[in-house]
Structure 1
Amino acid sequence: MHRFPLSVATVFMVVGWSNAATAQSVCGGTVLFQCATDSADFREQITVCARDRSYALTRHALSSGDKYYDAPLIADANTTWFRWSEDDQVQLEIGFWSTDLAEPVTLHMELPWDDMTETVAETGSSAMWLQSPHWRDRVDQTTCASETVYADPEGLWAAQHARGPIAAFFSQDEIIPRVDTVGMARVTDMEATAEGVPVYASARPGAATPIWWMLQPGETVDIIDLANEFIAVAIPTNGLTGCFLRPEDLGRPYTGPCATGWVDGAYLQRTQ
């Protein structure tokens, strides 16, 4: 993960809507992003702030100030996914966990980028939206009005600096591939739920353990570690076609490029 020096905060606002001081009072941390949702009937304010090594996302009704979530969505920089890519625009994803909904919610942002100065550009188009889990048949998105997007992403890097290996995007446990554990497996037709087979953040999942992914019957995954009846799998995401496990990766904590998580071994049939 690179740190990009951002000397200029980019602000897109509508008159009479919001400002950084208002955002500061909402979350009590360093404000990273804020916007108003793009809805004529029920407009909300979405705010993301950084606190220590985590990010908190809150939603409030603009008319009344009532909270949309009973508790803020939390993204721990050490365990949730984070993606940053840049060209003429910065594209950003942060994975949050909703304890109220018992599901992950992904924040997406697109911001204008000045590649020469490696800063967010002061002019250009921007977008911000929230997305429900993409493994579901129905994907819900909550979009922001582009002219209301406030972005100051410099506060991202303090939390990301100590986030650890890439493979921690999903798994909260250290995963060490070994000669006697690595291989390939096929997801069986026996589904754990109607939505697929859950991939947990921990090898000892409980009722509150985040489910970061859903595997579907017939999919093939890389096996990289075992813990009792649970199997650590590597999942190609963000355009990857494979997980590229090399001999020199054996015997040391897995650091990517694939995301990782834990699956009940009853739903996997080893093929290699």
Structure 2
Amino acid sequence: MTGVPKHRFTFSATAALALTVWGSAVMAQSVCGGDVVFQCATDNADVREQITVCAQDQHYALTRHALSSGEMYYDTPLIADANTTWFRWAEDEQAQVEIGFWSIDLAEPVTLHVDLPWDDRNETVADTGDFNMWLQSPHWRASVDQTLCASDTIYAAPEGLWWAQSARGPIGTFFSQDDITPRVDTVGRARVTDGGTTPEGVPVYASSRPSAATPVWWMLQPGETIDILDRAGDFMAVAIPTNGLTGCFLRPEDLGKPYTGPCATGWVDRAHLQQIQ
């Protein structure tokens, strides 16, 4: 993709927003509260949509609506807890961002991907370079659905991401929404015994009391071994090495304290786990 200048617009919660899309001006609304951190228009010329991501009060919100009619794609905006959701940030000549959202209406996850030119010296988005943004189903799904943005419509103000994460642990992992406290009588190792009820594997939930609206950010496969940190009812809290980690290690002084990384954490139905240590 060729380098394009970054488009920046003036946003407010109520003001109209003009997006220039391939030479034609269209009007849309800034439709979520807080600071707009990312925005774009999709590259589908037949049904042009606007995707907007805002940060407010330790949450990220994602809305998607048709530019021509204002009709919302999601009846309920996608919400992500900034302190616990899947989040990845990597920077070199490009800054790469991933944020995990959960659709309450559809009971399925949606991941926002953003790829921006990065000025490493000034720690900011560069004015020119490759701009890419898209929505995608998680990598563990067999069928990946992508919604691509037109590169010349992408707005990015990633500095708004950080203040929402005031209680987050190490960047690059996802965390349980429930406190996890490893103890001598709860830590151990377990083997995944079957694939659960879905062909993708055994879900790792964000809560020990999951419902259809509980985010699922990872899937375990039969035969995998996993570290156990805590227990709550029928669920076990697990630690998952992500982002280049090869294992999850606990020091004796970590016992009895809430776990905050570096490994990702979530909850698995103990019916699918066989404790081996």
Q: Deviations over 1:137-165 (max 9, x none)?
A: 11111111111111111211220123356
Q: Quick check: 2:205–2:214 contact (8 Å CA) kept in 1? A: yes
Partner of 2:71: 66
| Higher deviation after alignment, 209-218 or 260-269 | 209-218
Query: Residue 50 of structure 2: which of 38, 42, 45 is its match?
Result: 45
Deviation at 1:183, TM superposition (A): 1.4
State, as a whole percentage, how many aligned pairs show the same letter.
75
Partner of 2:264: 259
Partner of 1:3: none
Query: Residue 101 of structure 2: which of 83, 93, 96 is its match?
Result: 96
Q: Deviations over 1:115-151 (max 9, x none)?
A: 1111111111111011112221111111111111111
Partner of 1:111: 116
Q: Structure 2 stretches of 5 or more lacking a match?
A: 9-19
Q: Structure 1 stretches of 5 or more lacking a match?
A: 1-8
Partner of 1:125: 130
Partner of 2:231: 226
How far apart, in 2, do the equivalents of 1:95 and 1:41 lie?
27
How far apart, in 2, do the equivalents of 1:105 and 1:54 lie?
15
Deviation at 1:62, TM superposition (A): 2.1
Counterpart code for 2:89: W
Deviation at 1:211, TM superposition (A): 2.4
| Higher deviation after alignment, 185-194 or 97-106 | 185-194
Report the structure, 1 or 2, having the larger strand content.
Answer: 2
Q: Deviations over 1:87-141 (max 9, x none)?
A: 1111111111101210111101111111111111111111101111222111111
Counterpart code for 2:143: R
Residues 60-209 of structure 1 correspond to what in structure 2 (within 5 A)? 60-164=65-169, 169-189=174-194, 191-209=196-214
How far apart, in 2, do the equivalents of 1:51 and 1:132 lie?
24
Q: Quick check: 1:167–1:260 contact (8 Å CA) kept in 2? A: no
Deviation at 1:228, TM superposition (A): 2.3
The 1:199/1:80 distance shift into structure 2, 3 A limit, reads same
Counterpart code for 1:101: L
Counterpart code for 1:140: D
How far apart, in 2, do the equivalents of 1:60 and 1:241 lie?
41
1:134 is paired with a residue whose SS is coil
Q: Quick check: 2:195–2:221 contact (8 Å CA) kept in 1? A: no
Q: Quick check: 2:173–2:243 contact (8 Å CA) kept in 1? A: no
1:154 is paired with a residue whose SS is helix
1:26 is paired with a residue whose SS is coil
| Higher deviation after alignment, 168-177 or 251-260 | 168-177
How far apart, in 2, do the equivalents of 1:172 and 1:209 lie?
10
Partner of 2:251: 246
Counterpart code for 1:237: T
Counterpart code for 1:264: D
Q: Quick check: 1:167–1:256 contact (8 Å CA) kept in 2? A: no
Q: Quick check: 1:186–1:220 contact (8 Å CA) kept in 2? A: yes
How far apart, in 2, do the equivalents of 1:153 and 1:183 lie?
39
How far apart, in 2, do the equivalents of 1:74 and 1:18 lie?
26
1:186 is paired with a residue whose SS is strand
> Within the alignment, does 1:11 sit opposite 2:33 as a pair?
no
Counterpart code for 2:191: R
1:147 is paired with a residue whose SS is helix
Give the alignment's TM-score, normalised by structure 1: 0.88
Q: Quick check: 1:170–1:212 contact (8 Å CA) kept in 2? A: no
How far apart, in 1, do the equivalents of 2:172 and 2:32 lie?
29
How far apart, in 2, do the equivalents of 1:10 and 1:248 lie?
48
Q: Quick check: 2:84–2:177 contact (8 Å CA) kept in 1? A: yes
Q: Quick check: 2:201–2:222 contact (8 Å CA) kept in 1? A: yes
